[in-house]
Structure 1
Amino acid sequence: MHINRIFINTYRYDFDHAKICIASIRYWYPDIPIYLIKDYGKGDPLSRKAERWWNIKTLKLTRKKFNWGYGKLEPLFLDSNECFLILDADTVITGPVLDIVANIESDFVVDDEVQSKERFNEIYYNLDRINEIEDTFIYPGYSFNTGQWFGKTGVLERKDFELTLNWSDPPSTKYPQIIFNNDQTHLNFVIHLYEQQNKLKVTRLKLMIWPKLGNADFIDLNNIKKKEGSYPFVIHWAGMKFNSITSYPRADILLFYRNYFYSNQSQITKKIDFFIAAYLRIENKVKNFFKSKFLS
């Protein structure tokens, strides 16, 4: 699997994280094409400066509102013949992660994850009711977080998701009590179903590191600084929301890549960017406050 480009899914209130993700990619792969999948549902992500600084492009899409990560499905439907890596904004790569799939011949490469039935039912789809949608379906016993996965164009079409997903604006699930409303649940179901039907091939390997509870403590930052390439993984701060970058587990890695992001910019430019990021955090909190106060 030769990776032609990397897509980062982002929106107005997580682009500050996406900058760090961009820096981590450029640190290891200076020339790989990087494209932003922008969700304009909450407003403009304000990414144009970063695009100029680091030679980033925006994926041109007719749809502008996705919500719940559905934009990550769009590269599947591109009219091209290529392989790609999808990343959430709150991720970084810690080594030459593209190299680990170079000799793999699969349609998808996903994180090797197995959840308990209880946890699976909370974050993917309802195992007790999934056969109400497809009576021949057999759960394969695994799942994968969609904050990081490798895929190939031309394998799945938009219509392949229509059993469970409405392509509305933004997209929404047809069966919210069975398959929950986000890209992760639908991509897992479709890949599980089509793998069962021998319509595609999936390879599972250790890809994602969730840094909670010390899971990322084995990663030596000095190794990253030396580019020794010992950690071909993706750290994903999935579900973590803190006011300060220093509050995140493995903040040292985040700070290292953030400093790299601004390494070719002046201190004034950096301070202005920090001010904008702080403003957006306040804006998001104010919007959420009024939403919970008056719309709940």
Structure 2
Amino acid sequence: MEDFGIIIACCDQDYHYAKGCCGSIRHFLGDVPICLIIDGEFSAPELEKAYGVKVINHLNVKNKVLRERSFGWGLTKMVAFWESPWSKFLFLDADTIVWGDMLKYANFKDFDVIVDRPLYKDTLEEVSRFFFTTQEVEKHFPEFQWQKHFGEYFCTGTFFAKRDLFSLDEYIYMLDFIKENPNIFWFGEQGFLNMMIFRDSDAGKLRLGQSSFQVIAPKFKWDELKKRFPVEKTGPVVQGDDACVIHWAGPKPTLYNSQVYSEPMNFSRRKCMREAQGLTGLPAEALLKSEDIKRALNIYQKKLVRKVRKAMKLSVKTGVNY
């Protein structure tokens, strides 16, 4: 496919998963070009050398608005819509892998954006929890008939899209609106990106395609995932023409977590470790395990900092010393 690549957004806490995501791309899709959009100041020299990965970060984003306002949880991926190295791309969150020939869904001849069609239907309560507060959307965006797409709202961990799908002015308007109204759209960009896509589709501004190609791991039992996505000593075993993105949108696939079926990610991380860093066996396992521990410690540290700040604010407000 001409002028096409895969874009992964990551930060320091999920970079080790992004490496696994790259490994899965190379295993299933060959030499498809890859780009990382990094929220942070670290680099990815091993991936650049092994896989020819391009890197976009704060330093080389061309647009000032994107550089200053579109990095951080839930916003980093939005950079892809205007600064993708290719006119067409597949986007992936870092905590995903591809499984099988995902490119069979890339029908850019008929569509400008192709999103996941959920196999499950969210309740009204779940729409208001994971996407947007419906009453507020009705109030502020009366032209958007959100009820029309009830059951179609998707997890934005993966999608196909064309560059410049939206005008930058439309995005800036949404950023300004969210700043003034922080309690309407949820889960980072997920709520407002769903609204932008379905609203513009209804208005005839873009051609929307939908296919069921995302597997949200927490929505399935361990045994169901293992049966569909077996990984043997020789590697992953794709059954028939199965192709999808596995997304651990919840508990993460650490190396030895018996509560989460993680073998597809484990295989991909080991593959990347071998090809990008030349490590196998015990040295590789030790480094992979240390990455999991480092992530857990970072999360614990950030939670502790939030608790301390909350306690300090309460102390100031009540005059109680902690």
Match of 2:279 among 222, 241, 266: 266
Is the CA contact 1:95–1:232 (under 8 Å) kept in the aligned structure 2?
yes
Is the CA contact 2:36–2:53 (under 8 Å) kept in the aligned structure 1?
yes
For residues 187 and 2 of structure 1, do their structure 2 counterparts lie closer, same or farther at Cα, with a shift above 3 Å needed?
Answer: farther
Determine the structure 1 residue equivalent to 2:61: 61
Is the CA contact 1:81–1:154 (under 8 Å) kept in the aligned structure 2?
no
| Shift of residue 173, structure 1, vs aligned partner | 4.2
> How many residue pairs align between the two structures?
289
Segments of structure 2 that go 5 or more residues without pairing to the other structure are 311-322
CA separation in 2, counterparts of 1:70 and 1:289? 21
| Shift of residue 61, structure 1, vs aligned partner | 1.6
Determine the structure 1 residue equivalent to 2:129: 122
TM-score if structure 1 supplies the norm length? 0.85
Is the CA contact 1:34–1:57 (under 8 Å) kept in the aligned structure 2?
yes
Deviating 4+ runs (over 4 angstroms): 226-229, 242-245
Q: CA deviation digits over 1:76-133, x for unaligned, max 9?
A: 1138761100000000011110122247511110010242111010010111221221
What is the SS of the residue equivalent to 2:8?
strand
Is the CA contact 1:219–1:231 (under 8 Å) kept in the aligned structure 2?
no
CA separation in 2, counterparts of 1:79 and 1:283? 33
CA separation in 2, counterparts of 1:144 and 1:118? 15
Segments of structure 1 that go 5 or more residues without pairing to the other structure are none
Determine the structure 2 residue equivalent to 1:28: 28
Which residue type is aligned with residue 39 of structure 2? D
Q: CA deviation digits over 1:118-177, x for unaligned, max 9?
A: 10100101112212212222012220111000000122122112343239xxxx544222
Match of 1:295 among 287, 303, 309: 309
For residues 107 and 173 of structure 1, do their structure 2 counterparts lie closer, same or farther at Cα, with a shift above 3 Å needed?
Answer: farther
Q: CA deviation digits over 1:223-266, x for unaligned, max 9?
A: 96466762210000002246655335332222222222223313
CA separation in 1, counterparts of 2:47 and 2:286? 13
Identity percentage over the alignment?
22
For residues 12 and 260 of structure 1, do their structure 2 counterparts lie closer, same or farther at Cα, with a shift above 3 Å needed?
Answer: same
Is the CA contact 2:251–2:260 (under 8 Å) kept in the aligned structure 1?
no
Q: CA deviation digits over 1:161-202, x for unaligned, max 9?
A: 2343239xxxx5442222236111111011121111111111
Match of 2:204 among 173, 188, 198: 198
CA separation in 2, counterparts of 1:104 and 1:249? 38
Superposition CA RMSD, Å: 2.9
Q: Which has the higher helix share?
A: 2
For residues 128 and 198 of structure 1, do their structure 2 counterparts lie closer, same or farther at Cα, with a shift above 3 Å needed?
Answer: same
